[in-house]
Chain A
Amino acid sequence: MSELRDFLTAMGAVYEPVGERVNLNDRRFIVNPELAARIHDRSRMIYAGNLLGRTKREFMPGSSLLRELGKMKGPNKVWVDDRVGWLFVCGRDIFEESIVRAEGVLEEGTFFLVMLGDDCLGYVRIETQDGRRLLRNIFDLGDFLRRERRILE
């Protein structure tokens, strides 16, 4: 799964998921052996085990992978406060001056997890806009609410 490896490298993380890998269209799952033994009809399967992420133009990690990375030492991380965290999960980007603390070097192009205390809210890519450093929102957990809204519509 080279796309996952590339993502982890860009994040500064080392992580090797354990289990059988299952691909369903653009989604990548990791499945324990007991669950793998119960998979009989892949044509009708829509979800299995632990969703590592989705591969579209680039690899987008699922929330459980973010949860794992958030617990580790190693990945690039920035911490924000409640107010900025909420704007972030509403889909907004973050300006550098809103960062409370950072682990990793804020270089253009690198990926950072966005943390609120011990919890990972999503991740960003460092960009420069009008001479200001910007943390571009790539994925945030507010996506669950946006998906729920789309389902209801």
Chain B
Amino acid sequence: MVKSPPTEKRLMGAGVFLDRYKAMGHELRGSERTKRAIRVNTLLASREEVVRKLEARGVKLTGIPWLRDGLYVEGGESSVGASFEYLLGLYSIQEAAAQFPVEVLSPNPGEIVLDMCAAPGGKTTQMAAWMRNSGVVVAVDVRRDRLYALENNLERTGSENCVAYCADAASFDYGGTLFDKILLDAPCSGNYVTDHSWFNKRNVRDVEANAAEQRRLLGAALGLLKPGGTLVYTTCSLEPEEDEYNIQWLLDSHDGELVEVEGPGSPALTEAMGRSLSKEVARCRRFWPDEMETQGFFVAKVVKQ
């Protein structure tokens, strides 16, 4: 067995991360789990139809108060991952927090929207539904292996206003297109709620490396927006380097106004790991797993000047 060098070991493990969260004001157990959720695909079904059909199969559902199309799966006899309704594209399985960024971006029919790190396509198909298959979603991801799932999701859900590319979203040639709205669901360190072995896989150096990549994508995203256009930046990381610090970097180095994200969760941190940040950073939202019963999540909304 290969042993990690002593310095690396000091940077990883549940204790290291839980101590960091405690320093940010949250005593987490490290065993919090998320509730199962689905999202109604309004391109093909109404919420009432999905509830009626799944409840007839013995699935218990409750609405998620802060989501338009989200439903918690409270239990029941049938699997929501293998039903006629799933195969027919009437809903997608999508964790509650992961449904929030598109609600914040709120893409409208007719708009030209970029989904920068699109695979596996849950948010891409959600945007197509919000846009009622009108306008355009350009979906880009650099990982071909993850794009197969996106193709599958586009087909199953009847999302017909999307074009998907395998490319680096930051350097891809969009033919001079400037976008009305951009979703940057950045590749991140993830969090322990959805990955049981997360603490054994991650260390603080990974977090720093991911943060650098996220800044590269963020800078490119601002350049691809129309003046007055909206960018939603999101991660499923609880680490401030990937969240608040990156937003502070954006405020310091780019021409964008941070807009209040209204809805669930807590205001983002303005003091984190001994670093003071601008007061505006609190306009972003942070989902703590103990408060929200979701995975850890961060959402920021920026309007280009």
Contacts and interface: CB of A to CB of B under 8 A. Distances in A.
B87 interface: yes
Interface of B is mostly: mixed
B293 interface: no
B88 to A, nearest CB: 5
B212 interface: no
A74 interface: no
A50 B160 contact: yes
B164 A48 contact: yes
A119 B85 CA distance: 10
- Which residue of A45, A50, A86, A116 has the most chain B CB atoms within 10 A of its CB atom? A50
Contact of A144 (B150, B156, B167, B172): B156
Nearest to A50: B160
Contacts, number: 95
B163 A38 contact: yes
A142 to B, nearest CB: 6
B252 interface: no
A34 B166 contact: no
B112 interface: yes
A99 interface: no
Contacts of A72: none
A40 B87 contact: no
Interface in A122-153: 141-142, 144-145, 147-148, 151
Given A38-B136, A47-B163, A144 B151 contact: no
Interface string B150-163: 11101110101111
A82 B165 CA distance: 38
A50 B161 CA distance: 8
A151 B152 contact: yes
A35 B162 CA distance: 7
Nearest to B175: A40
Interface string B134-147: 01101100001101
B249 interface: no
A63 B156 contact: yes
Nearest to A38: B136
Contacts of A64: 155, 158, 160
Interface in A39-64: 39-41, 44-51, 62-64
A146 B135 CA distance: 31
Given A48-B164, A67-B158, A147 B88 contact: no
B165 A144 contact: no
A71 B110 CA distance: 26
A60 to B, nearest CB: 12
A85 to B, nearest CB: 7
B149 A151 contact: yes
A10 interface: no
A46 B88 contact: no
Interface in A13-50: 31-32, 34-35, 38-41, 44-50
A29 B145 CA distance: 21
B37 to A, nearest CB: 18
A119 B162 contact: no
Given A35-B136, A38-B177, A41-B172, A48 B82 contact: no
B66 interface: no
A8 interface: no
A130 B135 CA distance: 53
Given A38-B112, A116-B84, A119-B88, A47 B150 contact: yes
Contacts of A50: 160
A87 to B, nearest CB: 12
A148 B152 contact: yes
Given A39-B163, A41-B173, 12 more contacts: A32-B161, A34-B161, A38-B112, A40-B177, A46-B164, A47-B139, A47-B151, A47-B162, A47-B164, A49-B162, A67-B158, A121-B87
Interface of A: 31-32, 34-35, 38-41, 44-51, 62-64, 67, 82, 85-86, 89, 116, 119, 121, 141-142, 144-145, 147-148, 151
10 contacts: A40-B177, A44-B172, A47-B164, A63-B155, A85-B84, A86-B84, A141-B84, A141-B88, A144-B87, A145-B81
